[in-house]
Structure 1
Amino acid sequence: MSQELAAPVPRLTVITLGVSDIRASIAFYDALGFARRLKATGEAVAFYDTGGPVLALFHWDKLAADAKLPDNPRPATFRGMALAWNCATRDEVDAVLAFAVGKGAALLKAGHETDYGGYSGYFADPDSHPWEVVVAPGIEVGEDRRVHLAE
């Protein structure tokens, strides 16, 4: 008789971004105010405390090799994913967009009303990873910096 394995607890713990210039990316994410942890890794990999899943920066070619994916050709534009920076108000969305652009991000889309009753805009980091900055109904960010979803 075979014994059924218990299903593992699903969790998202780290989001790793492949980057071209790790020094520039570290400077950018430091400037945004994320707290870098495990600095002993030097420039091999950088880890940031986000209040939820960890954000990791890793050399693009090494990340591709680790995942057994081709390093080239690199997509120059949208990769089918976006990171999100949830906010409490529309004013905060505009402030975060302006702040990120001031730190070297490219503005992809200015803050605007959404069709679901929210407000959002987009910026791209130095490697063109898109970030949505958003306030949305049913999604709140607590004092613990974690996202809380309505039932």
Structure 2
Amino acid sequence: MSNIKPIPRFTVITLGVSDMRASIAFYEALGFSRRMRTTGEAVAFFDTGGTVIALFPWDQLASDATLPDQPRPTSFRGVTLAWNCSSVEEVDTVLDFAIACGASLLKSAHKTDYGGYSGYFADPDNHAWEVVVAPGIEVGDDRRVHLPD
């Protein structure tokens, strides 16, 4: 066994969907660039521009997304996806755009108790997305989230 410690990386979030064609169309409509189209409808890969993982208590995350915590329903499994934005205006634009693409609004955008601005939408399979601008989290020109040390 090697003594070299691997560099951790988080590379793929795989969402289970009920209708591949509809879900592919939804994520393309949101503007994510599909890659490896040779997979057809067996699996679809989208370039998201970068990924960050965050940890948050299950009950608080459910509450923030206005989803029930108990009993733990199949519609919420303690995970949300996030679309970080650079401004309040961008949050509003993204939420409106997602709804126009077929998303359902879970929670209207609002000022948060931590000084940010956030709202939630659900994709066609009810995967919850937070659209947020948060203090101290910068979205660069490279579309990636930059976190302070």
Corresponding residue to 1:32 among 30, 33, 36: 30
Q: CA deviation at 1:116?
A: 0.6
Q: How does 1:130-141 map to 2 (within 5 A)?
A: 130-141=128-139
- Residue 109 of structure 1 corresponds to which residue in structure 2? 107
- Residue 50 of structure 1 corresponds to which residue in structure 2? 48
- Residue 126 of structure 1 corresponds to which residue in structure 2? 124
Could you report, residue by residue, the CA deviation over 1:68-112 in whole angstroms, capped at 9, with x for unpaired residues?
xxxxxxx44211000000000011101100000011000000000
CA distance in structure 1 between the aligned counterparts of 2:83 and 2:9, rounded to whole angstroms:
19
Kindly, what percent of the aligned residue pairs are identical? 71
Paired letter, 1:108: L
**5+ residue gaps, structure 1:** 54-74
1:17 aligns with 2:20: no
- Residue 86 of structure 1 corresponds to which residue in structure 2? 84
Equivalent residues, number: 128
- Residue 66 of structure 2 corresponds to which residue in structure 1? none
Corresponding residue to 2:75 among 77, 81, 85: 77
Paired letter, 2:104: A
RMSD of aligned Cα (Å): 1.2
**5+ residue gaps, structure 2:** 52-72
Paired letter, 2:115: G
